[in-house]
Every structure is written in structure tokens, then in C-alpha cells.
């Protein structure tokens, strides 16, 4: 069985690692970036009809400022982000299933002014005709280097699970920096955008059936069980 490499930041890395180990997988890897808050100013909540949020990191790193926005419903990209919003005291307006653009399209037809809370690395969105949006950056990803052990193990192949575009970009940087052969590695990615950001040259690139950790790890397990 091939080794599964995980590179998402904490606390997600530990959660995914435990799940993968419980699935009987050989797990390696370490976060390729850490997430840290940035200074930001809260606009007047009365100007908005809701929040658009694409990551639970918004609620982990948004600081005390975010408490001023709890009266606004959260339109969350997925279940994990919705759970983080509830734990932070927010009500959920809508929970997406296929990425932020899909979620935004579901709101089409409504006249809304949304406040998007995001990280520095974020997907470009196409706004429906009646929706206006303002964006505030509340966190950023700080790059980390791949460990020598992971570099050595990946030179012989394996499966990498990618939970985000930031992880995909970081993986490319590390492979190029260490002159590693992409054709030895299979990628399991959480969505089409991440697949595009991962670039070309990999042994295979497979997209999870749904943008969730459990679906991604199920795909990764299947790839780990394929013939060398």
C-alpha cells in the first residue's frame, strides 16, 4: 500500500491524520504552512445582509472583532465551516456543497449585500446580478518547508491529499525546489479549483466526490490501494 502524505495546516492536519490512521493508512507529512491572523477593521454590520465564509480559519483567527458580526447569518462553504460558525455564536443562512461559487450561485435572485471574510489566498468569485460584496482579509498562510524525511519518501512515490489551493501551490514549490519527480506521485484533491492549482506532471490527479475531508480521504485510500 502506498503512503498517504498530508500537508494541511493544524488543527486540520491532526484530524485528517487520525482519520486516515483509523482507516488503516500509512500516514506521513506535516503542514506546509501555518495560519496566522492579520489586522483588520470591522465595517458597520448594519450595511450587510450576511457573511460569506469559505474557511473555518475565519472563526479561528478572526479575533475579537468578529464578535461584532454575530447578528449576521453566515453562508458557509461547507459543514466544517458552518460548525465553526455555530461554535462562535453565529446563525447559519446556507451551507454549500460544491465550493464558494456554487454557494453564491444558490443565492442568485436575492438582493444581498454580503461581507466576505477570507484569507489572503482566496478564489475569485463571479457575483450574481443582484448581489454586492465587500471583502475583508482576516488571516494568511505562512509557508513552511517540507521535511527531509518526506522529501526522501516522496522520491519513491505515494499519494498526496490536497485540502486547499494554498497547499497545492506550496506542494509545487517544494517539488520544484528539491527537483522531485511529480510523475511518481498521485494527487487526491478536494475540488476542481485545487486540481487546476496543482499543475501538471503528476502520476494522476483525482477529485473527491464532495468537498469534505471524509470524501477526500476515501478517495486517497482508494489511490493508496492501487498497484505501484
Residue of 125, 116, 133 whose CA lies nearest to 69: 116
Question: Taking residues 91-103, what's their average pLDDT?
Answer: 90
- pLDDT of the residue at 212: 83
Question: Taking residues 123-137, what's their average pLDDT?
Answer: 94
List pLDDT tens digits, range 36-85.
999 999 999 999 999 999 999 999 999 999 999 999 999 999 888 999 99
192 and 164 in contact (C-beta within 8 Å)?
no
3 state SS of 76: strand
- pLDDT of the residue at 70: 97
Find the length of the chain.
228
Element of type H or E holding 89: none
Residue of 42, 29, 15 whose CA lies nearest to 137: 42
Which residues, 6+ apart, have CB-to-CB distance to 108 below 8 Å?
128, 129, 130, 131
43 and 20 in contact (C-beta within 8 Å)?
no
List pLDDT tens digits, range 156-199.
999 999 998 889 999 999 999 999 999 999 999 998 889 999 99
Residue 228, pLDDT > 60, answer no
Residue 114 backbone dihedrals phi, psi, to 5 degrees: -105, 145
Rounded to whole angstroms, the Cα distance separating 224 from 25 reads 8
- pLDDT of the residue at 80: 86
Residue 98, pLDDT > 80, answer no
Rounded to whole angstroms, the Cα distance separating 175 from 179 reads 6
Rounded to whole angstroms, the Cα distance separating 51 from 54 reads 10
List pLDDT tens digits, range 214-226.
999 999 999 999 8
With a pLDDT cut of 90, the percent of the chain lying above it is: 85
In whole numbers, what is the pLDDT of the chain averaged over residues?
Answer: 94
Angle, in degrees to the nearest 10, between helices 12-22 and 213-224:
50
Amino acid at each position: 500500500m502506498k503512503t498517504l502524505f498530508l500537508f494541511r495546516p493544524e488543527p486540520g492536519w491532526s484530524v485528517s491524520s487520525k482519520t486516515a490512521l483509523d482507516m488503516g493508512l500509512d500516514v506521513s507529512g506535516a503542514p506546509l504552512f501555518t495560519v496566522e491572523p492579520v489586522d483588520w477593521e470591522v465595517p458597520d454590520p448594519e450595511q450587510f445582509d450576511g457573511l460569506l465564509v469559505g474557511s473555518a480559519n475565519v472563526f479561528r483567527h478572526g479575533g475579537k472583532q468578529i464578535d461584532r458580526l454575530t447578528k449576521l447569518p453566515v453562508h458557509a462553504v461547507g459543514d466544517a465551516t458552518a460548525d465553526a460558525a455555530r461554535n462562535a455564536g453565529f446563525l447559519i443562512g446556507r451551507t454549500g456543497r460544491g465550493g464558494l461559487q456554487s454557494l453564491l450561485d444558490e443565492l442568485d435572485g436575492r438582493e444581498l449585500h454580503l461581507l466576505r471574510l477570507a484569507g489572503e489566498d482566496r478564489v475569485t468569485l463571479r457575483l450574481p446580478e443582484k448581489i454586492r460584496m465587500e471583502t475583508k482579509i482576516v488571516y494568511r498562510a505562512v509557508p513552511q518547508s517540507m521535511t527531509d524525511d518526506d522529501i526522501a519518501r516522496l522520491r519513491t512515490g505515494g499519494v498526496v491529499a490536497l485540502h486547499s489551493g494554498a497547499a497545492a501551490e506550496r506542494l509545487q514549490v517544494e517539488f520544484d525546489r528539491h527537483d522531485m519527480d511529480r510523475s511518481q506521485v498521485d494527487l487526491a484533491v478536494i475540488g476542481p479549483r485545487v486540481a487546476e492549482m496543482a499543475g501538471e506532471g503528476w502520476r494522476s490527479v483525482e477529485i473527491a466526490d464532495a468537498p469534505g475531508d471524509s470524501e477526500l480521504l476515501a478517495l486517497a485510500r482508494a489511490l493508496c490501494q492501487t498497484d505501484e
